[in-house]
Amino acid sequence: MKFDSIKSRLVLMTLICVIGMGMLVVSQHYFTQRLIGLNQQRDALLRMGQDLLQMRRHEKDFLLRHDTDYFDKFLQQSYSFKGRLTTLVPMFNEYRLPVADVESLSASMEAYRGVFQQVVSLQERIGLTQSDGLRGRISELEKTLNEGPLSQSPQAGELLTNIQLATRNYQITHEGYYAKLMNEMSERLVSDYRSNTEYGEFVVQYREALLQLVDAFTIFGVTHNEGLRGDFRQSAHNVETQLKGVDTALQPMIEQQEGQVRIYSLSIAALTSVVLILVLIKSFATFHRAFVNFLTFFYRCKRQYQMIDTRKLGFAELKSLAELANEMVESKRDIEARLASVEAELATKKAS
């Protein structure tokens, strides 16, 4: 298709604008969808952070109140966390991000949940309330010993009271000093009254229950950095650290996509503008040259019969006008030639 007419030039400029705008819209839509996907994943990470905060809250509520409802809530939050985590894997594969970070985070979450399960199980063994588990067993044995014949002996009653006091202090403070007192005094109690046929068996069971309680608290952790409590705390910190690592890996990709959106948008707009300006300049130059030729033609046409060169006009519409003007000049020349011939004949007749 030759763009040698005003109409075709206008069509060309329209096509350039439409194509440029179309490319801009398509690129904006494409990158917008990618940014939406990345921001959705970023939103998922934020929600995972909120899930983790809720899990830490349920963890502390359980350790404070010993209510298994908080463990059930913890599990629900962990399942929600795991579900959001699985949505990150396809996106990490698509953008060639380190999938190992996601897998490591998943493993840490499983470890976190597993250690908490052990904490709950151990706490159930110790006793969720004063009447459950080892604490309930110890209370039952204390009641049996206090109401039995052992209470008739002042020395045995005092020793049993001291053991109970040390046991209560140990459960509150978890200090080794009270555990040592429990061990020594219960050993003396067993040594003195083991042979008694009425309550000797209860004394032995009482000491065994006390030792099991001390062992359970030792496994649980007498401080927040020891035992299962320490493992539990470290697992939670690992999940937090790795979650931040995944977010850190995702952030540069979002910034890169935003930068590509700006680059592509500016490039398409600049290319469209440059092409359109070049077409406009070319069209203006062609039109100006054709207009000057027309003006020159009409000025010369007043003095002499000069034809216009259609090859210098450029646009097809102006060439058509030039051909009509040339026909008009040719017709005027023929008329004047015939008029001159008639005038010559008349002058000849008058002379003869």
Dist CA 78 CA 57 (whole Å): 12
Dist CA 183 CA 307 (whole Å): 129
Q: Using alpha carbons, select from 51, 114, 57 the residue that is nearest to residue 85.
A: 51
Contact 307, 331 (CB under 8 A): no
61 pLDDT higher than 80:
yes
71 pLDDT higher than 80:
yes
50 pLDDT higher than 70:
yes
Give the model confidence (pLDDT) of 1-46 as tens digits: 555 566 676 777 778 778 878 777 777 777 777 777 777 777 887 8
State residue 225's pLDDT score.
82
State the pLDDT confidence band at 254, using cuts at 50, 70 and 90: confident
Where in the chain are the domains? 6-127+226-270, 133-220, 284-343
The arithmetic mean of pLDDT across residues 208-219, rounded, is 92
347 pLDDT higher than 90:
no
State the pLDDT confidence band at 296, using cuts at 50, 70 and 90: low
101 pLDDT higher than 70:
yes
State the pLDDT confidence band at 265, using cuts at 50, 70 and 90: confident
**Where is pLDDT greater, at 263 or 258?**
263
Dist CA 157 CA 163 (whole Å): 10
Q: What are phi and psi of 2, to 5 degrees?
A: -90, 130
291 pLDDT higher than 70:
no
State residue 257's pLDDT score.
72
Dist CA 167 CA 124 (whole Å): 18
State residue 99's pLDDT score.
73
State residue 309's pLDDT score.
63
Query: Which of 181-190, 198-207, 292-301 is most confident?
Result: 181-190
CATH 3.40.50 for domain 6-127+226-270, yes or no, is no
pTM of the entire structure?
0.66
Q: What does the mean pLDDT of the chain come to?
A: 80
Q: What are phi and psi of 32, to 5 degrees?
A: -65, -40
State residue 282's pLDDT score.
75
State residue 299's pLDDT score.
59
201 pLDDT higher than 90:
no
Contact 150, 157 (CB under 8 A): yes
Contact 241, 104 (CB under 8 A): no
State residue 72's pLDDT score.
93
For 265-321, the DSSP string reads: HHHHHHHHHHHHHHHHHHHHHHHHHHHHHHHHHHHHHHHS-----GGGT-SHHHHHH
Q: Using alpha carbons, select from 133, 124, 118, 107 the residue that is nearest to residue 228.
A: 118
**Among 193-197, 286-290, 341-345, which is the least confidently predicted range?**
286-290
Q: What are phi and psi of 197, to 5 degrees?
A: -75, -20
- Give Cα separations from 132 to 111, 145, 307 (angstroms): 27, 19, 119
Percent of the chain at pLDDT > 90 equals 20
3-state SS, residue 67:
coil
Q: Using alpha carbons, select from 179, 252, 259, 262 the residue that is nearest to residue 218.
A: 179
For 92-128, the DSSP string reads: HHHTT--HHHHHHHHHHHHHHHHHHHHHHHHHHHH-S
Give the model confidence (pLDDT) of 117-160 as tens digits: 999 999 999 999 888 899 999 999 888 888 876 767 788 888 88
